[in-house]
Amino acid sequence: MVSNIDDWEARLDPEVVLGAMLGDLGFAIGFDHASGRLVPGTERNKFLDGGKMIRYKTGDAQNTTISAIVVLERFRIPDLAFQKVVNEEILRREEATRQTLSDRERLDVRFAMYGNHSLQTRDAPRVCVVENPVARRRFPEDLF
């Protein structure tokens, strides 16, 4: 299990953990050497080098005894009362102007209201399980 305690540079979201396991996230595009051009429609997501579960050069599995990496993290529970106030203000402005606010205008309303509302957010612990697709034994689905 891994956890990040107040390190802004450490990222433990599933994409980053998968990148560490299987290789850096990237993409590949076919290339026609004769014409010197990319081949349209051949784009695909791909794990590149750097992974610890697969040997990049051969594609062979390694570290197959690790079934999954479990990330313990904090989940911010939103302040529903604040969201209600924001939604009411957006509705009020839309009714006054008889126009739907743009995403930018909605964001401006939210930022303007931060100063007028004391947020009541709280954190809850949660786990994110990133399974190793080359593991010999699968992570138990009923563990959590």
Q: What is the mean pLDDT of residues 125-137?
A: 90
| 138 — pLDDT class (breaks 50, 70, 90) | very high
pTM (predicted TM-score): 0.57
Predicted pLDDT at 114: 83
Could you report the per-residue pLDDT of 117-126, keeping only the tens digit for each? 777 778 899 8
Burial class (CB in 10 A: 0-12, 13-18, 19+), 4: middle
Domain layout of the chain by residue ranges: 1-76+125-144, 79-120
Burial class (CB in 10 A: 0-12, 13-18, 19+), 53: buried
Q: Is 132 helix (H, G, I), strand (E, B) or coil?
A: coil
Could you report the per-residue pLDDT of 26-51, keeping only the tens digit for each? 899 999 999 999 999 999 988 888 88
| 24 — pLDDT class (breaks 50, 70, 90) | confident
Residue 13 has pLDDT above 90, yes or no: no
Q: How far is CA 89 from the centre of its chain?
A: 30
Predicted pLDDT at 71: 87
